């Protein structure tokens, strides 16, 4: 083949074309394992689930629902690491409370009590710890939960990133409520409680080396009240999820996979604030994969969709709620977006963290 | 190679070396190097890639392009055959 | 955002599409050169809206695809050194070298940082005088002015601890190489708009004439891409082979002279290996003699790294439009998005991944064949 090339160009030998493939079988932990995407899912499926092996964990819900002493207890834990610790609209402390409150609320529970465990790095200013703790106290009061127990450890300078917080929480699930990803059914309406991407963009805007000016703040907020308002319309909500790391795209993929249904999203119906779209535009990110800390996505039986949407919009945490798509029987396990132009694209589970790109 | 977006020059720091300006991308503001467009003025639009303004955005050309797109097909529509023709094409090619 | 939203308008897109549908009478194979254009095509589902006869071949215009393995290995070697802060655009972190990638080096303790601009790396070098700051200068003509300015600034500031690992490539020699391939099917190119914003269009008329190929300088928003396709199809249907500028708001014929001057001061043209394609004469840039002191390959003595690229997949054939992804024996079996053998299966906009995902969605083999009834895909109204 080479002899056919013109003298002034190199031969293109297609047989020798090799292209890069990502290394999926990482022998060490990489940042993507914490990104809420495919790598996180693999870590759980391949390491944690086999090691712990029990049906409660196998449900892979945001919080576990346990039968205890005649009551149904929702139980959840989460660790919080964010850089920088303080960002427009909140701080690590707000996330640590609201995140766990929301994980509980996503099973329909009314959260009541949290624990808080701090890992502090030697040398961190006490004033910083105090600011985080105060934010946690304020957030707990706002969410109507009690921080009932806690712990503190200190690691040597250089072995931590200032402050890490782990919270766990419990709450009671009302009678007749059964909310989990497996319950998504073809025909369900897919609702989102407000504009997406605000938290992720707010944090990026103050991240070292990336700083940009934007007048938006994190959406961090507790959602248990909003869920209660939705449950007042009907206890038969099928799925709730708070699209944190990995954004709406990761949450919808998890639901589609867990339920064996497809999700069809209408791109133009998804509320993306201009600033989020524009920040994502110059960084090369997809808003559908950007983190939220005060939003939920709901799969609701079609007959209740309108009433639930109205209840969401009537609630202060859901004024921007929108009906963004449908659960379908086609393409099980996949999320397909109908683009504004009239085409479609497959919205896959992100691999790991999104990074600014140039291409 | 190609992620470059249009933004509006908000301010220019003429003392900076290299020449730097603040660019507004629809409510998102970021500094960019203006060294390659030394005569750019506040209020003009530039195409920015990895923190560098690479080219002035010609607003007149943008308007002309959009105007052209808006006029496409109008001539044929007067003769009433564009949609029919498109429909014929669809039915021929869009069978699943 | 102004000058983005207008060029996403669904009603105008419909007009362009109708015009393309009305113009095309037989099959045409167009290659969009730039990965950014491929991204936009997949992101908006543009390929499904075009007439069946218009085939878009996703070209090799993405540094992730074409940066050769030995350069990646050099990057990994340098990034793993304890005295080094290795700075890169986010794109390159997941590109595997021999057995590992930059994410892995970071996981093993390497100081690898993602920067938005090459000037951020220069600033790091200023702030960390005790560390060696290396910037991974990859990309096409669009990125070259930025990377050139970074090393220019480093010299002006006297930053001896700053260097570049350069793997710059140029588009026109790649078009030349693709057209010279014996089985080449490409009849028209959508040339990369932002490359031309910098370099202008002077290099293209000769290519168009010699290879009898239409070249339309094309932008990145949906209407830009459709306009590029419309003009290319219009030319081809009339048997014309010209260079046209369908992205005049960002491209002047002469490019950006100040940027070109800086590129010519800092870089010099050199032969480059393209991953999978092989060596293409005069297809890249390296630091010129005046800036050789800032060459990381010499500073860290990695010039000796030579890596053989194993032939594992037919992504090269796919990228040149010689075969469809489904014609590769590994497609869907050994090679899936979960276990990709080639770059075209890696990201969602890769040709193979797009085919794979659509097949899963429709049980139909190809995105352009997998059409969805119009009423379903066109909620635009």
CATH for A228:
3.90.650.10
Helix (DSSP H) and strand (DSSP E) numbers for chain B: 3, 5
pLDDT digits (tens, 9 = 90+) for B24-54: 999 999 999 999 999 999 999 999 999 999 9
Of A274, A275, A359, the CB nearest to B3: A359
Residue of C259, C261, C285 whose CA lies nearest to C271: C285
From A213, A278, A358, residue closest to B26, measured CB to CB: A278
Q: How far apart are the CA of A90 and the nearest CA of chain B, in angstroms? A: 19
Nearest neighbour of B1 by CB, restricted to C9, C61, C227: C61
Chain B nearest-CA distance from A358, in A, is 5
User: Which pLDDT score is estimated for A1?
Assistant: 32
* Domain co-membership, C100 together with C127: yes
pTM more than 0.90: no
Q: A80 and A119 share a domain? A: yes
Task: Give buried/exposed letters for C311-340 (b at 16+ CB in 10 A, else e).
Answer: eebbbbbbbbbbbbbeebebbbeebbbeeb
Asked whether residue A148 falls in the same domain as residue A185, the answer is no
Same domain, A112 and A154: yes
User: Do B42 and B17 reside in the same domain of the chain?
Assistant: yes
Nearest to C114 by CA among C139, C134, C88: C88
Query: What is the domain extent for residue C112?
Result: 65-170+255-299
Residues A313, A168 share a domain: no
Torsion of CA C336, C338, C339, C345, to 10 degrees: 50
**Residue C141 is assigned to a structural domain of this protein:** yes
Q: Does A16 touch chain C (CB under 8 A)?
A: yes
User: What is the average per-residue pLDDT within B80-93?
Assistant: 46
Same domain, A218 and A161: no
C377 assigned to some structural domain: no
How many angstroms from the chain centroid is the CA of residue A120? 25
Q: Are residues B48 and B78 in the same domain?
A: no
Cα Rg, chain A, nearest whole Å: 22
Q: Pick from A116, A139, A172: which residue ends a domain?
A: A172
Q: Are both B53 and B9 inside the same structural domain?
A: yes
Alpha-carbon span C162 to C296, nearest angstrom: 9
Task: Tell me the two tokens of residue C115.
Answer: 């920067």
Distance CA C245, CA C77 (A): 42
Count CA atoms closer than 13 A to A47's CA, side-chain side: 12
Whether residues B9 and B53 share a domain: the answer is yes
Q: Tell me the C-alpha distance between C380 and A342, whole Å.
A: 6
Virtual torsion, Cα A12, A16, A22, A28, nearest 10 deg: -140
**Surface of A (213-272) touching C: CB under 8 A:** 266, 268
pLDDT confidence of residue C348: 57
The distance of B52 to chain A (nearest Cα, Å) reads 12
CATH number at residue C197: 3.40.50.11750
Number of domains present in the structure of chain A? 2
**Cα C176 from chain centroid?**
16
Sequence-distant contacts of B34-43: CB under 8 A, at least 24 apart: B34/B9, B35/C149, B35/C258, B35/C262, B36/C145, B36/C256, B36/C258, B36/C259, B36/C262, B37/C256, B37/C258, B38/C258, B40/B9, B40/B12, B41/B9, B41/B12, B42/B9, B42/B10, B42/B11, B42/B12, B43/B8, B43/B9
Phi, psi of C137 (to 5 degrees): -90, 85
Residue corresponding to tokens 């304020």:
A138
Residue A106 lies in a domain: yes
Beta strands in C144-242, from DSSP E residues, in sequence order = 162-169, 188-192, 214-218
Separation of alpha carbons C60 and C64, rounded Å: 9
Looking at the fold, whether C239 and C260 belong to one and the same domain comes out as no
- Which residues are within 8 A (CB) of A356 and not within 5 positions of it... i.e. 6 or more apart? A210, A283, A284, A285, C89, C90, C114, C116
Instruction: Compute the average pLDDT of residues B81-91.
Output: 47
Q: Do C24 and C123 belong together in one domain?
A: no
Nearest one of C63, C14, C62 to C40, comparing CA atoms: C62
Asked whether residue A17 is domain-assigned, the answer is no
Is the pLDDT at B11 greater than 70? The verdict is yes
Is residue C20 domain-resident?
A: yes
Structure-token pair, residue A217 = 């703040």
d(CA C299, CA A130): 47
B42 touching chain C per CB within 8 A:
no
The span from the CA of C367 to the CA of C352, in Å, is 10
Residues in chain B with CB shorter than 8 Å from the CB of A209 are none
Say whether C79 sits in a helix, a strand or coil: helix
Question: Do B65 and B52 lie in a common domain?
Answer: no
What's the domain count of chain B?
2
Q: Which of C224, C245, C266 is the last residue of a domain?
A: C245
Classify residue C306: in a domain, yes or no: no
Specify the 3-state DSSP secondary structure of B26: coil
- Below-50 pLDDT ranges, chain C: 364-381
Please name the residue of chain B whose CA is at the shortest distance from the CA of residue A274: B26
Radius of gyration of chain C (CA): 21
Cβ-defined contact of C49 to A343 (cutoff 8 Å): yes
Q: Do residues C282 and C352 both lie within one domain?
A: no
CA distance B10 to chain C (A): 14
- Cα separations in angstroms, A70 against A67, A73, A174, A175, B30: 6, 9, 12, 11, 57
Whether residue C281 and residue A10 make contact (CB cut-off 8 A), yes or no, is yes
A358–B27 C-beta distance less than 8 A: no
Same domain? For B31 and B70 the reply is no
Kindly determine whether residue A359 and residue B5, on different chains, have CB atoms separated by under 8 Å: no
Contact flag B28-A213 (C-beta cutoff 8 Å): yes
**Residue B51 shares a structural domain with residue B66:** no
Nearest C-alpha in C relative to B58: C249
Rounded CA separation A245/A353 (Å): 8
Assess whether C163 and C277 both reside in one domain. yes
Whether residue C375 lies inside any domain: the answer is: no
Q: 10 Å Cβ neighbour count for C198?
A: 27
Q: Are residues C107 and C70 in the same domain?
A: yes
Nearest CA in chain C to A13: C277
Distance CA C169, CA C66 (A): 9
The Cα A208–Cα C129 span in angstroms is 18
CA–CA gap between residue C219 and residue C247 (Å, rounded): 5
Min Cα separation B6/chain C (Å): 7
Domain identity same for B17 and B44? yes
Residues B53 and B65 in one domain: no
Least CB–CB distance from A278: residue in B2, B28, B50: B28
E strand intervals along chain C = 28-34, 54-61, 84-88, 111-114, 132-139, 162-169, 188-192, 214-218, 243-245, 267-274, 278-287
Domain contains C322: yes
Neighboring chain B residues of C9 at a CB cutoff of 8 Å: 66
Residue A22 lies in a domain: no
Instruction: Output the tens digit of pLDDT for each of chain A's 359 residues.
Output: 333 333 333 334 333 333 343 445 567 887 778 877 778 888 888 888 888 888 777 666 778 999 988 899 999 999 999 889 999 999 999 999 999 999 999 999 999 999 999 999 999 999 999 999 999 999 999 999 999 999 999 999 988 889 999 999 999 999 999 999 999 999 999 999 999 999 999 999 998 788 899 989 999 999 999 999 999 999 999 999 999 999 999 999 999 999 999 999 999 999 999 999 999 998 989 999 999 999 999 999 999 999 999 999 999 999 999 999 999 999 999 999 999 999 998 898 887 778 888 87
Cβ distance of B30 and A213 shorter than 8 Å = yes
- C238 and C259 share a domain? no
Please check whether residues C74 and C139 belong to one and the same domain.
yes
Contacts of A10 in chain C (CB under 8 A): 177, 277-281
The domain tally of chain C equals 3
Chains near B with 3+ CB pairs less than 8 A apart are A, C
Chain A residues inside the 8 Å CB shell of B22: 213
Contact A343 C46 (CB under 8 A): yes
For residue C316, what pLDDT is reported?
73
Return the closest-CA partner of residue A319 out of A255, A271, A283.
A271
Chain A hits for C79, CB-CB cut-off 8 Å, are none
In this structure, the answer to whether residues B53 and B67 fall within a common structural domain is no
C320 and C288 housed in the same domain: no
> Cα–Cα distance between C314 and C232 in angstroms, integer?
27
Q: Closest CB to C10: pick one of A6, A342, A358.
A: A342
Closest C-alpha to A108, from A77, A139, A64, A157: A64
The residues, any chain, with a CB within 8 Å of residue C266's CB and separated by 6 or more, are C148, C151, C152, C287, C288, C290, C291
In angstroms, the CA A149 to CA A215 distance is 37
Contact B85 C22 (CB under 8 A): yes
Query: Could you tell me if residue C250 is inside a domain?
Result: no
| Residue C163 and residue C261 share a domain | yes
Task: Look at chain A and count its residues.
Answer: 359
Q: How far apart are the first and last CA of chain B?
A: 36
Residue of B nearest to A359 (CA): B1
8 Å CB contact of A20 and C72: yes
- Residue B66 exposed, middle or buried by CB count within 10 Å (0-12, 13-18, 19+): middle
C159 CB-near residues (< 8 Å, 6+ apart)? C122, C125, C126, C133
A185/A316 same-domain check: yes
Return the pLDDT at C345. Answer: 73
Residue whose token pair is 């991944």: C353
Cβ(A296)–Cβ(A200) below 8 Å: no
Chains that touch A (3 or more CB pairs under 8 A): B, C
Domain match, A122 and A250 both: no
Backbone φ and ψ for B38, nearest 5 degrees, come out as: -60, -25
Of all residues in chain B, the one with the smallest CA distance to A280 is B28
Contact between B50 and C251 using a beta-carbon 8 Å cutoff:
no
Checking phi first, is residue A187 left (phi over 0); if not, alpha (psi -120 to 50) or beta?
left
**Residue A96 sits in a domain of what CATH number?**
3.30.1330.10
Q: Is A136 among the domain residues?
A: yes
Please tell me the distance in Å from A66's CA to the nearest CA on chain C.
34
Domain span at residue A326 reads: 181-347
Residue C305 domain-assigned? no
Q: How far is C274 from chain B (nearest CA, A)?
A: 15
Q: Give a yes or no: residue A26 inside a domain.
A: no
CATH number at residue B12: 2.30.30.140
Are both B66 and B86 inside the same structural domain? yes
Could you tell me which residues are beta bridge partners of residue C244?
Answer: C216
Whether residues A107 and A186 share a domain: the answer is no
Residue C331 DSSP code? B
Q: Minimal Cα–Cα distance from B46 to chain A, Å?
A: 13
Q: Are C50 and C92 members of one domain? A: no
Domain shared by B52 and B9, yes or no: yes
> Cβ B96–C227 below 8 Å, yes or no?
no
* Strand ranges inside chain A, DSSP E: 64-68, 71-80, 86-87, 90-91, 110-121, 146-155, 163-172, 189-192, 213-214, 239-241, 262-266, 297-300, 322-328, 335-338, 344-347
Q: What is the CATH number of the domain that holds C153?
A: 3.40.50.11740
Show the domain range for B37.
5-57
Q: How many beta-carbon pairs under 8 angstroms link A with C?
A: 233
Task: Extract the runs of DSSP E, i.e. beta strands, from A196-353.
Answer: 213-214, 239-241, 262-266, 297-300, 322-328, 335-338, 344-347
Residues C140 and C277 in one domain: yes
Contacts of C89 in chain B (CB under 8 A): 50
Contact assignment for C15 to B33 by CB distance below 8 Å: no
């Amino acid at each position: 083949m080479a002899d056919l090339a013109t003298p002034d160009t190199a031969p293109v030998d297609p047989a020798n074309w090799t292209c890069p493939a990502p290394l999926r079988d990482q022998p060490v932990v990489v940042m993507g394992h914490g990104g809420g995407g495919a790598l996180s899912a693999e870590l759980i499926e391949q390491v944690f689930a086999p090691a712990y092996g029990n049906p409660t964990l196998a449900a892979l819900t945001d919080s576990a629902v346990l039968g205890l002493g005649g009551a149904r207890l929702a139980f959840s834990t989460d660790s919080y690491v964010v850089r920088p610790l303080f960002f427009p609209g909140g701080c690590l402390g707000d996330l640590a409370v609201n995140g766990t409150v929301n994980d509980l609320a996503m099973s329909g529970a009314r959260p009541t009590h949290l624990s808080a465990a701090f890992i502090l790095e030697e040398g961190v200013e006490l004033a910083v710890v105090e600011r985080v703790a105060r934010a946690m106290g304020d957030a707990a009061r706002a969410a109507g939960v009690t921080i009932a127990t806690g712990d503190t450890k200190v690691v040597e300078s250089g072995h931590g990133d200032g402050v890490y917080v782990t919270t766990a929480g419990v709450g009671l699930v009302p009678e007749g409520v059964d909310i989990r990803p497996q319950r998504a059914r073809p025909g369900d309406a897919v609702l989102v409680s407000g504009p997406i991407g605000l938290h992720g963009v707010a944090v990026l805007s103050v991240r070292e080396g990336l700083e940009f000016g934007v007048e938006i703040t994190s959406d961090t907020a507790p959602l248990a009240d909003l869920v209660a308002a939705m449950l007042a319309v009907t206890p038969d909500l099928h799925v709730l999820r708070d699209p944190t790391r990995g954004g709406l795209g990761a949450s919808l993929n998890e639901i589609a996979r867990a339920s064996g249904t497809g999700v069809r999203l209408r791109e133009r119906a998804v509320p993306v604030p201009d600033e989020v779209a524009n920040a994502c535009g110059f960084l090369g990110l997809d808003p559908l994969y950007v983190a939220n800390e005060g939003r939920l996505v709901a799969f609701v039986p079609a007959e209740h969709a309108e009433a639930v949407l109205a209840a969401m919009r009537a609630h202060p945490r859901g004024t921007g709620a929108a009906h963004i798509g449908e659960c379908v029987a086609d393409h099980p396990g996949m999320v397909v977006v109908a683009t504004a132009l009239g085409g479609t694209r497959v919205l896959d589970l992100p691999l790991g963290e999104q990074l600014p790109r140039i291409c | 190679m190609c992620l470059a977006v249009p933004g509006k020059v908000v301010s220019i720091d003429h003392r900076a070396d290299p020449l730097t300006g603040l660019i507004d991308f629809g409510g998102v503001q970021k500094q960019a190097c203006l060294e390659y467009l030394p005569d750019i003025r506040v209020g003009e639009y530039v195409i920015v890639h990895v923190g560098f303004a690479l080219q002035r955005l010609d607003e007149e050309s943008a308007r002309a392009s959009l105007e052209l797109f808006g006029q496409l097909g109008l001539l044929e529509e007067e003769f009433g055959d564009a949609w029919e023709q498109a429909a014929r094409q669809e039915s021929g090619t869009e069978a699943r | 955002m102004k000058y983005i939203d207008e060029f996403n308008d669904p009603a105008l897109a419909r007009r362009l599409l109708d015009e393309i549908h009305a113009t095309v009478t037989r099959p045409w194979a167009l290659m969009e050169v730039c990965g950014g254009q491929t991204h936009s095509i997949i992101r908006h589902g543009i390929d499904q809206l075009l007439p069946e006869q218009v085939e878009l071949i996703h070209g090799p215009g993405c540094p992730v695809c074409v940066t050769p393995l030995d350069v990646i290995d050099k990057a990994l070697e340098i990034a793993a050194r304890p005295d080094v802060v290795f700075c890169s655009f986010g794109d390159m972190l997941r590109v595997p070298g021999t057995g590992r990638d930059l994410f892995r080096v970071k996981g093993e303790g390497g100081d690898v940082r993602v920067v938005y601009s090459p000037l951020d790396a220069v600033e790091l070098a200023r702030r960390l005088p005790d560390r060696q700051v290396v910037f991974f200068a990859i990309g096409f003509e669009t990125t070259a002015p930025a990377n050139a300015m970074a090393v220019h600034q480093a010299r002006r500031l006297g930053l001896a601890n700053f260097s570049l690992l350069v793997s710059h490539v140029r588009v026109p020699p790649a078009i030349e190489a693709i057209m010279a391939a014996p089985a080449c099917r490409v009849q028209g190119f959508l040339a990369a708009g932002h490359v031309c914003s910098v370099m202008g269009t002077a290099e293209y008329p000769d290519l168009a004439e010699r290879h009898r190929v239409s070249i339309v300088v094309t932008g990145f928003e949906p209407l830009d891409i459709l306009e590029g396709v419309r003009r290319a199809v219009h030319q081809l249907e009339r048997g014309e082979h010209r260079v046209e500028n369908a992205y005049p708001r960002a491209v002047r014929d002469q490019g950006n002279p100040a940027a070109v001057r800086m590129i010519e001061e800092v870089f010099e043209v050199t032969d480059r290996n393209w991953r999978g394609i092989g060596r293409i004469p005069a297809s890249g840039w390296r630091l010129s003699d005046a800036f050789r002191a800032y060459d990381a390959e010499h500073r860290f003595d990695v010039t000796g790294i030579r890596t053989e690229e194993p032939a594992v997949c037919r992504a090269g054939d796919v990228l040149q439009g010689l075969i469809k992804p489904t014609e590769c024996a590994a497609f869907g079996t050994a090679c899936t998005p979960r276990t990709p053998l080639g770059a075209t299966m890696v990201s969602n906009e890769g040709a193979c991944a797009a085919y794979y995902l659509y097949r899963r969605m429709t049980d139909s083999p190809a995105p352009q064949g997998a059409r969805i009834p119009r009423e379903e895909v066109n909620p635009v109204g």
